[in-house]
Structure formats: structure tokens, C-alpha cells
Amino acid sequence: MTAASGRAPRDWRGALDWVAVHSIGIALGLMFTLPIVFVLLTAVMPDEQAFTADLWPREWRWGNFVEVFERAPLLTYLGNSMLYALLATAGMLLSSIPAAYALAKLRWRGRDAVFLLVVGAMMLPPQVVAVPLYDAWSGLGLTGTLWPLVVPYFLFDAFSVFLLRQFMLTIPQSYVDAARVDGCTEFQAMLRVVVPMARPGIAATALFCFLYTWNDYFGPLLYTSERPDEWTLSLALSSFKGMHHVQWNLAMAVTLLTMLPAVVLFVLAQRSFVRGITFTGVKG
């Protein structure tokens, strides 16, 4: 401190900046976490305390997490959720990356119109779209299975195409042009230049696809609820609702159990964003 007085102001500012940014970070973290803590507290309460104004468990019933497994075949549901989310994500990557590339990095007539249609595809209320689609799937005899949920992702997912396109737009066009000059075909330019550079975006899109399908309630309810063997974890909540009664503590325990794999996945996957920076840096 005393020795390098010339650098002191800069250190001071750096320290202040560090403190400010980190306290905001901590505050944000707390704000985001507290409600989850309430879910946890509710999950370990006795039934007669859950969903009351009394927020601290009178008695810690960790056994609730065991009880939910006795009440519903959660492992079967877990397997179905995995299958749905993994297949949907894989299908989304196969179908959406090329489409996004064509919309972001190729120039062709009608591109803007097609892009608008992609955005427009997200605008129809799902409640209405579901009516004709359900009829079509049951015409094919495929309701009661995961097919109606998974197949669309192998063809077209508007959200992902849109998101990926926007990510690809942030990659300077010069990189793609350079690849073309080097003699790459479009397909090679996409796979060797754009996909690696957009890796954080692709990872994020894949993650969202996975988590969206993981938490999807409406789809599985519509298509698989008649066959309990095909239920996903998101449907398990309905096992804790009676005609005139709700077991809030068990419902929250299941909510947490449903979230757990997603949280683990997120913690593991977020590294790919970090890797993204270094990669881009090396590339330049």
C-alpha cells in the first residue's frame, strides 16, 4: 500500500468495483434463492403445517422425500422425462442448427419472409393449436405415447431456430466468408466455423430445450396422461391432489426432486459457456 502509492487509486477503485459488483451478485443470488428455500421448507413440513403462514417447519420430516416414492412410481416417470427431454434436445439440434444457419448466414430471396414465419409460429396460443394436433395424433393412434411430444423437435422448433439464428448473427460474417474463400462448402462452413464459434449459444439453446421439455406439463398431460406408464415427472404433482384436499408438502417435495436433475445438469453444462469465451479468443 505505502510502497506503490502511484498505483493506490487504481487499486482502490478496483477494490470498490469488486465489492460493489459482488454485493449486487450476492443480493441477486439471495433474492433468487429465497423462494426456493420456502419450497424446501414446505417440502419437509408435516402435512398440517404446509401452505400455512407458519413458514419454519415445526418438525423436520425428511421422510417426505421417501414417502413420495411410495406414493408414485417416480423412477418410471424419471425415465420417461429423461427420454422425452433427451430425444427432444437431440432432435432439436439436428433440425434447428441447419435451419438457423440458413436463416443467419446464407443470403437468399425470401429469407426475411421465412424468418417472420418462424417468429409467427410461436404466436398461436398452445391451447388452440393443441386441438387439431391432438386429433391428428390420435388419428395416427399415437396418443398415450411420447411420440407426439418428441417428433416435432426432429422437424421444427420455432423457439430454438429463432434463438440459434440470433446467436449466429452475433458471429461476424467475415469468418464465414473467409471459410468460403478457403474452399469450404456451406455445410463445412457451418460445421467447422459457425457451430464451434456459436458453441455457447448452441449449448444454451440445447439446455433450454432440455429444461423446457423437462418441465413441460401441458404436452405430457394432453398426450400421455391416459397411460401412467408413460407419465413424466412433471405430471407427478397431480398424484398429490384429491377432490377436496391437497398435500402441499409432498407436492413441494416432488417439485424439488423434479428440479434436482435439472439443477445438476445446469451446473455441469454452464461450463460450456465459459469454454466458449476462451475458444472464441483463440480463434481470433
**Per CB under 8 A, which of residues 255..274 are in contact with other proteins?**
255, 258-259, 262-263, 266-267, 270, 273-274
Quick one: 3 or 189, whose CB is closer to other proteins? 189
DSSP notation for 88-114: HHHHHHHHHHHHHHHHHH---TTHHHH
Asked whether position 67 contacts other proteins by CB under 8 A, the answer is: no
Name the minimum Å distance from CB 219 to other proteins.
12
The single residue among 4, 35, 70, 181 that binds other proteins, judged by CB under 8 A, is 35
Quick one: 18 or 60, whose CB is closer to other proteins? 18
Asked whether position 188 contacts other proteins by CB under 8 A, the answer is: no
Quick one: 139 or 183, whose CB is closer to other proteins? 139
Quick one: 9 or 281, whose CB is closer to other proteins? 281
Name the minimum Å distance from CB 187 to other proteins.
7
Among residues 235, 229, 237, the alpha carbon closest in space to that of 254 is found at 237
Of 59-67, 73-81, 157-165, 176-184: span binding other proteins (CB under 8 A): 157-165
The single residue among 64, 146, 240, 253 that binds other proteins, judged by CB under 8 A, is 240
Residue pair 42/52 in contact (Cβ under 8 Å)? The answer is: no
Asked whether position 51 contacts other proteins by CB under 8 A, the answer is: yes
Residue 166 CB-density burial (10 A; 0-12 exposed, 13-18 middle, 19+ buried): middle
d(CA 157, CA 169): 18
Residue 240 CB-density burial (10 A; 0-12 exposed, 13-18 middle, 19+ buried): buried
Quick one: 2 or 183, whose CB is closer to other proteins? 183
Quick one: 79 or 166, whose CB is closer to other proteins? 166
Alpha helices in the chain (DSSP H): 8-43, 64-71, 74-105, 111-120, 126-139, 147-155, 158-169, 173-181, 186-188, 195-197, 199-215, 218-224, 248-269, 271-283
Of 22-30, 57-65, 76-84, 176-184: span binding other proteins (CB under 8 A): 22-30
Asked whether position 111 contacts other proteins by CB under 8 A, the answer is: yes
Residue pair 33/46 in contact (Cβ under 8 Å)? The answer is: no
C-alpha cell at 12: 482502490
Site for other proteins in 199-228 (CB under 8 A): 200-201, 203-204, 207-208, 211, 215, 217, 221-222, 225-226, 228
Residue 9 CB-density burial (10 A; 0-12 exposed, 13-18 middle, 19+ buried): exposed
Residues near 44 by beta carbon (within 8 Å), at least 6 away in sequence? 57, 60, 61, 62, 64, 65, 249, 253
Size of the site for other proteins (CB under 8 A): 136
3-state class (DSSP) for residue 181: helix
Site for other proteins in 113-152 (CB under 8 A): 113-129, 131-139, 143-144, 152
Quick one: 3 or 140, whose CB is closer to other proteins? 140
226 CB neighbour count, 10 Å cutoff: 10
Asked whether position 162 contacts other proteins by CB under 8 A, the answer is: yes
Quick one: 2 or 54, whose CB is closer to other proteins? 54
